[in-house]
A and B are shown apart, each in its own frame.
Chain A
Amino acid sequence: MATMNGNLTLSAQAGLEWYNASSLKTMLRWRTDRWRDAKAKAEVLSALQTHLFDPSSIRSALASCDPITREALAQLQRKGGAMPVAALCGQLVVWHPDLKPAQVRAVPSELVRRALAFWHTPAAQYNRAAVHDVQRPATDNVHATTIFSAPEILEYVVVPPGLGEVYLTPRGRADVTAAPAQWQRLVLGFLRAIEDRAPRILQSGVIGSRDREALAQAVGLTRDVPDAPRLSPVNFYRATLAAAGLLEVSGERQLRTTSAALHFVSLSPMRQAQALLGAWIEAGENELLALGHLHCERHANVPKVVPNSGRLGRAHRVLVDLLRQKVQPGQWYSLADVSRSVRYQDVEFLVSWLDPAPYRWSSYEYYYDRDHLKFPPYPGVTLEEARGRSRALVMGEDWDLVEGAFIRAVFHGPLTWLGLVECQVRPGGKDVFALTPLGAQALELEGSAVTPDLAEIPSHRDALIVQPNFDVVVYAPEERTELLYHIDRFAERVSADRLAIYRLTNASICEGLQLGLCIDDVIALLEGAARTPLPQNVVFSLRDWARRFEEVHWIKNAWLLEAPDEATLDRWLSDPTVGTVVERRISPMLALCAGQRPATLSALLADLGASVQIVDANAPLISCGRADGVTGLSIPAADANLYLRRALADVAEFEGEDQYGCRYRITPQTIGRAAKGGKTANEILGVVESVIHGAVPSGMQVRIKGWAGAYGAVALGPVGIVVAPSPEALRELRADPAFASAFILSVSATAAIVDLDALDVLEQAFAERGIATTPYDFQTVRLI
């Protein structure tokens, strides 16, 4: 079986059923002399399956292959047993540019003919035969076809030494003198700038862009990459240092260094470069997306060959391996030669040549235009500007515009920023590069340098003097990058020349402590590097500043474990797993937990007999209680968290608590107190609404708003009412001038309220007009 892309397993024997009878007969003919014995398709199939992995049969089939077909099978073996047919043909064209298209196209068919390799077409057929032929696969897009073989066959294939290898020719002597310490200063300067400025996460937006530019200026990272305007050294260092575990994003979405940065700083430049190189290979930015002349599709649901992170990491590794194996220090090499070498090694270095589209009309040219060899386009990768040609890019033909430009961007960008190479663009646009001394060390090239000890910490004895006026004078600062980095964290830089002068201040010491230093470490560092004992007034002040600093500690975004009682928390903390995640107990029923914790903590607590409730302090109020009458609130015991209690304590009076929950009472006094504290009626109602299920009862709402003074004065007084027998009658009565002044307001089509003092006058006027009156009874008289 051959495995393709790690998730598709192909069986050669089972796959034979998908060939037509004549093809099977052809295969059998190449594999055994007794091919005439089998007549029916089933017999042919059975015989072929028998001989498929027979060593002598495989050897004779291999012996019948021409050298180019054997090379193709060797390439198939190098690629793990499966590769796109287009890539196989493309690789042969690179190796043998003089071959005619028909000869190249025949190679995969020759392998299938001898049952040494097989077609695989994952896509559904539209209008083609459903079974393969030795000449061609059954598919609507030949570029979507894979050719694969079985390990049982490939084990007899001998890969010629040097297959796909090409020598990288030096282009002249290089005198690259960039010192590793210079690169180290840049990286440590970047880390210090992050600590100093705490920039935003630097990915997008106006604030990110502003912080990125400021950081670039502060560190001196202004060098752009030719043809890759979207490749930024600031983003590169941020992403690589973060991938190496040296940077993280704080709760305020700001970048900061981690504790691992301190260990990193103490490493030699070579080890630092190796650490960052490893991080870049695994998690580096996609340089293809940064090329100015290309448009790369980013939508997830579009078929495309834009490399994913795994494939990109492999491409990065290929380039680093090429540096390690083919490049010598002290020589210039052409980037065009590197591109050629990579292409010679594997045309699928960056992108897969397997067309993800199941149907493509242009693939028919593969069969009908036998004078030309057609290769698939780069799906999802096009030119930004056509300039007289098609925007579509074709694999192989446009290698220099895609893979070549990618390699150029990697050398001018990440590999330069990692301090491994130095690049030059010479007159005439010729790109050359040379390994730096740091590059030779980091790649551990033979004879480049003695490997330093991993735990190497350079000695800084007698490097500085601390003066009684709090000045720190560092001698020979250019040789002490690491020491300067450490001092810079807790002292203000005054000047840096032949001597570096720093000043210890309350603010600078506290900034250092904020970065995770402790005052004993600061004093120990100064004592260890000082030529003379530290002045007593300096030591006293440092300790005093630190003591005052540590008096108040504001912890943001912490998480706590709360138990219903002290004994229960004791029991949980005695559990080994729960105990390890707890940093310390901050009250009898609450424990402060460490930043990292097992994802299964909830399950662990459940195993210990607990029902786990989650409280997000940013949105702690949840609908859990109910209204009791028009002034009472009941909250279940499990939901009565600290935040909810605090919120209710502002607007209600705590009445009591039992095993079922706690009760609160809204009173005029509690509402008045909340209103006096600045809460509006709507805010108070909002608190109540957010903690009870359903709507606030109207009686409670009126009381809350009334007690909070949200209502103005209500006019209350007696009035009379006139209810006419019909709307028409009321209209006519109101039109009579004698009645008009008595009416106040119509309250329905037949009723109006009238002045109470006018009732007697109205009664007489109705009698005078012959209109009978009856006493109003609201229970019997219906208003329309």
Chain B
Amino acid sequence: MSSDQVWARLHYNVSLVECASRETLDELLDVLGLDQSVVARLSDRVVIVDGQQKAQIARCLARRGHPYRVTDLVPRAPDQDESAWRP
């Protein structure tokens, strides 16, 4: 990487939990045990979770007692052009 370049990261196959309010996310993390699966907290309402711990995350979310929205995008590997861009 030359000195005038900055890095950009493209993250694939990321699992996120996004809540409608800060209180809901805090409840999930502090009371219902989602903190064990958190990779990084991005904001008041969004955390990245470890996608490998699907069962554990589902258990934590189910402890709320209400159904929740799940959006499952199609997993993918980096495209060929992106593989070519690998340093």
- Residues of A at under 8 Å CB distance from B? 248-252, 506-507, 510-511, 513-514, 548-564, 568, 572, 586-587, 590, 592, 595, 599-603, 605-606, 609-618, 637-638, 641-643, 645-646
Contact = CB atoms under 8 A, between A and B. Distances in A.
B20 A609 contact: no
Nearest to A516: B71
A552 B68 contact: yes
Query: Taking each of B11, B24, B81, which has the highest tally of chain A beta carbons within 10 Å of its own beta carbon?
Result: B11
A493 B83 CA distance: 49
Interface of B: 1, 4-21, 24, 28, 39-40, 42-43, 46, 48, 51-52, 54, 57, 61, 64, 66-79, 81-83, 85-87
B11 A586 contact: no
B15 A559 contact: no
Contacts of A252: 72
Contacts of B68: 549, 551-554
A391 B28 CA distance: 67
A533 B69 CA distance: 29
A603 B81 contact: yes
B4 A609 contact: yes
Given A599-B81, A617-B51, A561 B8 contact: yes
A642 B40 contact: yes
A551 B21 contact: yes
Nearest to B9: A562
Nearest to B18: A553
Contact of A554 (B4, B8, B15, B74): B15
Contacts of B11: 559-562, 615, 617, 641-642
A560 B40 contact: no
B8 A562 contact: yes
Contacts of A563: 6, 8
Given A514-B69, A587-B46, A618 B13 contact: yes
A556 B42 CA distance: 16
B10 to A, nearest CB: 6
Contact of A611 (B5, B18, B71, B73): B5
A763 B67 CA distance: 85
Contacts of B54: 556
A183 to B, nearest CB: 30
B38 to A, nearest CB: 8
Given A249-B74, A552-B69, A559-B12, A618 B52 contact: yes
Contacts of B6: 563-564, 568, 609-611
A641 B40 CA distance: 10
Contacts of A511: 67
B46 to A, nearest CB: 5
A558 B73 contact: yes
B9 A641 contact: yes
A559 B13 contact: yes
The 8 A-B pairs of least Cβ separation, nearest first, read: A510-B67, A610-B8, A552-B68, A587-B42, A562-B9, A638-B7, A560-B11, A611-B1
B57 to A, nearest CB: 7
Query: Taking each of B72, B77, B78, which has the highest tally of chain A beta carbons within 10 Å of its own beta carbon?
Result: B72
A586 B43 contact: yes
A645 B83 CA distance: 23
Contacts of B64: 552
A325 B66 CA distance: 58
A14 to B, nearest CB: 39
Contacts of B46: 586-587
Query: Taking each of B14, B18, B48, B67, which has the highest tally of chain A beta carbons within 10 Å of its own beta carbon?
Result: B14
A613 B83 CA distance: 10
B23 to A, nearest CB: 10
B69 A557 contact: no
A595 B74 contact: yes
Nearest to B54: A556
Nearest to A619: B13
Chain A at the B interface: SS class: mixed
A101 B39 CA distance: 79
A553 B21 CA distance: 11
B19 A557 contact: no
A565 to B, nearest CB: 8
Given A250-B72, A557-B74, A552 B12 contact: no
Contact of B69 (A549, A564, A590, A611): A549
Nearest to B67: A510
Contact of A556 (B1, B15, B39): B15
Given A252-B72, A548-B66, A617 B14 contact: yes
A551 B42 CA distance: 17
A59 to B, nearest CB: 55
Contact of B18 (A250, A586, A606): A586
Given A551-B68, A561-B9, A562-B11, 17 more contacts: A248-B74, A250-B74, A549-B69, A552-B20, A554-B70, A555-B14, A558-B14, A559-B10, A559-B73, A560-B10, A561-B8, A605-B8, A611-B6, A611-B7, A612-B7, A612-B9, A617-B51
A612 B1 CA distance: 10
Nearest to B46: A586
B32 to A, nearest CB: 10
Query: Taking each of A514, A572, A601, A614, which has the highest tally of chain B beta carbons within 10 Å of its own beta carbon?
Result: A614
B67 A549 contact: yes
Given A550-B20, A551-B20, A558-B15, A616 B69 contact: no
Contacts of A548: 66-67
B87 to A, nearest CB: 7
A614 B10 contact: yes
B81 A586 contact: no
Given A513-B69, A645-B40, A613 B13 contact: no
A553 B17 contact: yes
Nearest to A572: B8
Contact of B7 (A248, A507, A613): A613
B78 A614 contact: yes
Nearest to B8: A610
Nearest to B77: A616
A299 to B, nearest CB: 26
A564 B70 CA distance: 29
A289 B21 CA distance: 55
A603 B86 CA distance: 11
10 contacts: A554-B61, A554-B71, A560-B11, A564-B7, A599-B81, A612-B9, A615-B10, A617-B51, A618-B75, A645-B40
Contacts of B87: 611, 613
B77 A551 contact: no
B21 to A, nearest CB: 7
A590 B83 CA distance: 21
Given A506-B67, A557-B74, A610-B8, A552 B52 contact: no
B41 to A, nearest CB: 9
Nearest to A645: B40
Nearest to A506: B67
A557 B64 CA distance: 23
Contacts of A560: 9-11, 14
B86 to A, nearest CB: 6
B5 to A, nearest CB: 5
